[in-house]
Amino acid sequence: MKSYLAVFIGGALGSLCRYAINMSAGSAWFPWPTFIENASGSLLLGLLTGFFSSRAKKPLIQLCLGTGFCGGYTTMSAFSKETALILQSAAPHNGVLYLVASLASGICLAFIGIVLGNRIGGQAGQKKERYTS
């Protein structure tokens, strides 16, 4: 039951953050809010993955932040809908640009996040060992 609650709380917070970004942005030919949410969410999930891979497991925190927050914050459905709508518009090349930019940035930022998370998690673990030894 604690696992479900952790995902619920994280998902609610992530969804609220996504909503705030969507409400603060104006309309444009490029869906910047969704792009920013998915790119920054990929980076954050990568950071969390790397950080927790080099440290003791904290399942409830990982569920809350990873599955919950990042799952509620990022949005595959909005990305898919926006891509389809742009591809059907008078400028379908913008849809291709959005598709490629979103996928490339998401994968690259997730990779960078994992590398940084491993470094941060490893360094924090080493400092903790020094002080407890």
Domain that holds residue 60: 2-132
Query: Is 74 marked within a binding site?
Result: yes
Answer yes or no: are the C-beta atoms of 86 and 16 closer than 8 Å: no
Unique residue bearing structure tokens 């927050």: 69
CA distance 76 to 122: 31
pLDDT computed for residue 54 by the predictor: 77
pLDDT computed for residue 57 by the predictor: 80
Q: Which amino acid is at 57?
A: K
Structure tokens belonging to residue 114: 């994992």
CA distance 53 to 79: 29
Helix, strand, coil share of the chain (percent; to 5): 85, 0, 15
Question: Cβ neighbours of residue 1 under 8 Å, at least 6 residues apart?
Answer: none
Please choose, from the candidates 133, 128, 6, the residue with its C-alpha nearest in 3D space to the C-alpha of residue 56: 128
pLDDT means over runs of 10, the chain (133 residues): 97 98 87 96 97 86 97 97 95 96 98 96 66 52
Answer yes or no: are the C-beta atoms of 6 and 72 closer than 8 Å: no
pLDDT computed for residue 123 by the predictor: 74
| Number of structural domains found in the chain | 1
